């Protein structure tokens, strides 16, 4: 099966992090997978997302279903905690949230620096993903794990304080003054 060859040639993501260069791009990873996986596995892999749908649709893979359920509940708990902090009601409910998730989202919501809060939340996601790491390093599940880890690392590397502040000023300016006015520091 080609997946063994594929997995054997993938570079390790163990040393990749917030500031280190990735050994492979998402594009290259998906290109390799498309040509080496069967249709069912490819469809599941190409449908992986960091933002699962609210309505659970079974993927046919327990790993993906666990990730999607956890992430959906994590996002609902985060939305609820953010609404609570702003003294607003949140109608959606939080789903099944464990104590660790609740503690994590509450800590993130209380952080003064939004960039650091997002990094903290992404690290929590990476920690959960590690709990799902498959024992068989040459399984399709390992490719799902690898894809999600790659996506999370790419996400955390895309955080840029200057760009974020600039975007915040644009949004805030449009709310305060209408149009495309940017609020200066």
Please report, in tens digits, the pLDDT of each residue of the chain (185 residues total): 578 889 999 999 988 777 788 999 999 999 999 999 999 999 999 999 999 987 778 889 999 999 999 999 999 889 888 888 888 887 766 567 778 888 999 999 999 998 899 999 999 999 999 999 999 999 999 999 999 999 999 998 888 666 666 666 677 677 767 666 555 65
In a domain, 183, yes or no: no
In a domain, 94, yes or no: yes
**Separation of alpha carbons 171 and 163, rounded Å:** 12
**Separation of alpha carbons 41 and 61, rounded Å:** 9
In a domain, 184, yes or no: no
Q: How many CA atoms lie within 13 A of 96 on its CB side?
A: 4
Instruction: Please state the pTM of the whole predicted model.
Output: 0.83
In a domain, 15, yes or no: no
**Separation of alpha carbons 21 and 166, rounded Å:** 25
In a domain, 139, yes or no: yes
Contacts of 74-80 with CB under 8 Å at 24 or more apart are 74/101, 74/104, 74/105, 74/124, 74/125, 74/128, 75/51, 77/101, 77/102, 77/105, 78/105, 78/108, 78/109, 78/121, 80/105
Instruction: Give the count of domains, the chain.
Output: 1
In a domain, 28, yes or no: yes
Which domain covers residue 33, as residue numbers? Answer: 2-9+22-177
């Amino acid at each position: 099966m080609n997946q063994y060859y594929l997995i054997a040639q993938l570079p390790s993501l163990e040393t990749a992090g917030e500031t280190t260069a990735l050994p492979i791009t998402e594009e290259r990873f998906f290109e390799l997978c498309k040509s080496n996986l069967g249709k069912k596995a490819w469809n599941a892999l190409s449908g992986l997302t960091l933002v699962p749908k609210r309505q659970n649709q079974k993927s046919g893979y327990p790993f993906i279903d666990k990730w999607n359920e956890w992430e959906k509940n994590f996002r609902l708990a985060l939305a609820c905690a953010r609404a609570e902090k702003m003294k607003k009601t949140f109608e959606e409910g939080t789903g099944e949230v464990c104590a660790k998730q609740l503690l994590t989202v509450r800590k993130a919501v209380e952080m003064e620096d939004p960039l650091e809060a997002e990094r903290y939340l992404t690290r929590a996601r990476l920690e959960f993903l590690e709990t799902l790491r498959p024992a068989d390093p040459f399984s399709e599940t390992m490719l799902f794990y690898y894809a999600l880890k790659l996506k999370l690392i790419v996400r955390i590397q895309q955080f840029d304080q200057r760009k974020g502040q600039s975007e915040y000023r644009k949004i805030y300016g449009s709310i305060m003054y209408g149009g495309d006015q940017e609020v200066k520091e």
